[in-house]
């Protein structure tokens, strides 16, 4: 019993007349008769009794009629879901991010994506750079967001945006009176540094800039994430060099000033994904990321 036979059966059951049913199916009567006979042979039952006015359902036909509409509806639903999946409108997107990455661009991109594709389930994971690289290769995530991503043959990396650097100061610090701050202003100044991670990251970039300019890089505290870093600044442990998105934290007792440096001008936020990933959902998401990049 195939879907065509079920559709023909349903039309004949509704019309109770071979001629009218064939006309509505846009076929002639003989093919309809052959399909109904083949269906009866397959099932080993008689589905219709011929009458002067057309055809009436037998007991077996009435039993089949109770099930066929459901089967056809399920078939249509399966077809629709397959088409939606092919177009990236249903399915799952697993996204990894890092602490300061959720302060600006990533939430805006995710919000727009959810509005455009509300039936895609989006799962979020807070991971370090090393964890993201491992999770991508293990296919536990679809895409990751991070900074200073190393070149990898099996992974593609695209820049989402570039952020200028800021200096976070606690209120009352003498540098709060400045319109902007240079690295020379931070020479031997107690610093709160993040992330405290084994892979090359923001902390290493800042340390390298101090070395390049011949300045003393004095680490007062090292922490794993931006929130703790800014909280330490607010508590007076030291000052920090961070990115523009940190301002969205808006912690009390913290003042931000632009950093002017020939070495530290800006830093990129990138996304990374497997080069061989053909997921329609991923590529729909990437199209939105690229659009965001040009806004």
Residue 69 dihedral angles phi and psi, to the nearest 5°: -60, -40
Question: Which pLDDT tens digit goes with each residue over 244-291?
Answer: 888 888 889 999 999 999 889 899 999 999 999 999 999 999 999 998
pLDDT bracket for residue 53 (50, 70, 90) = confident
Interstrand relation of 48-51 and 91-97 (parallel, antiparallel or unpaired) = unpaired
What residue numbers bound the domain in which 207 lies?
163-267
Cis peptide before 255 (omega within 30 of 0): no
114 and 179 in a single domain? The answer is no
DSSP bridge pairs for 159: 270
| Cβ-Cβ contacts under 8 Å for 150 (sequence gap 6 or more) | 199, 200
Our count of domains for the chain comes to 3
209 and 220 in a single domain? The answer is yes
Helix count and strand count (H, E) for the chain: 9, 12
Structure tokens at 66: 């109770």
249 and 281 in a single domain? The answer is no
* Predicted pLDDT of residue 254: 95
* Predicted pLDDT of residue 196: 66
Element (H, E) at 4: helix 3-15
67 and 96 in a single domain? The answer is no
Question: Which pLDDT tens digit goes with each residue over 201-217?
Answer: 888 889 999 999 999 99
The answer to whether the CB of 196 falls within 8 A of the CB of 222 is: yes
Query: What is the domain-level CATH number for residue 100?
Result: 3.40.190.10
Show which of 42, 58, 86 is a domain's final residue.
86
Q: Rounded distance, CA 32 to CA 19, Å?
A: 9
pLDDT bracket for residue 86 (50, 70, 90) = confident
| Cβ-Cβ contacts under 8 Å for 169 (sequence gap 6 or more) | 175, 176, 233, 239, 254, 255, 256, 257
Structure tokens at 189: 């100044």
Question: Which pLDDT tens digit goes with each residue over 154-183?
Answer: 999 999 989 999 999 999 999 999 999 999
Count of CB atoms situated within 10 Å of the CB of 138: 8
What would you report as the CA-atom Rg of the chain, rounded to the nearest whole angstrom? 32
* Predicted pLDDT of residue 273: 97
Q: What is the pTM of this model?
A: 0.75
């Amino acid at each position: 019993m195939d879907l065509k036979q079920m559709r023909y059966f349903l039309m004949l059951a509704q019309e109770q007349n071979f001629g009218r049913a064939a006309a509505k199916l846009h076929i002639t009567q003989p093919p309809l008769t052959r399909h109904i006979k083949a269906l009866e042979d397959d099932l080993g039952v008689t589905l219709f009794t011929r009458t002067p006015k057309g055809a009436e359902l037998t007991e077996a036909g009435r039993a089949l009629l109770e099930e066929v509409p459901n089967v056809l509806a399920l078939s249509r639903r399966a077809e629709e879901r397959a088409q939606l999946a092919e177009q990236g409108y249903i399915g799952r997107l697993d996204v990894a991010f890092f602490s300061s990455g959720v302060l600006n661009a990533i939430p805006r991109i995710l919000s727009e994506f959810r509005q455009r594709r509300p039936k895609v389930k989006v799962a979020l994971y807070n991971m370090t750079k090393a964890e993201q690289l491992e999770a991508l290769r293990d296919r536990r995530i679809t895409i990751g967001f991070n900074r200073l991503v190393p070149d990898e043959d099996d992974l593609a990396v695209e820049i989402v945006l570039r952020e200028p650097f800021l200096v976070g100061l606690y209120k009352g610090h003498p540098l709060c009176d400045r319109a902007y701050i240079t690295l020379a202003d931070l020479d031997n100044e107690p610093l709160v540094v993040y992330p405290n991670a084994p892979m090359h990251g923001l902390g290493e970039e800042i340390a390298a800039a101090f070395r390049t300019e011949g300045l003393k890089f004095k680490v007062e505290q090292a922490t794993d994430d931006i929130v703790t870093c800014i909280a330490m600044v607010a508590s007076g442990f030291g000052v920090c060099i961070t990115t523009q998105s940190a301002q969205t934290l808006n912690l009390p007792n913290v003042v931000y000033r632009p950093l002017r440096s020939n070495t530290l001008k800006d830093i990129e936020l990138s996304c990374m994904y497997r080069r061989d990933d053909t997921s329609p959902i991923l590529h729909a998401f990437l199209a939105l990321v690229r659009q965001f990049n040009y806004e």
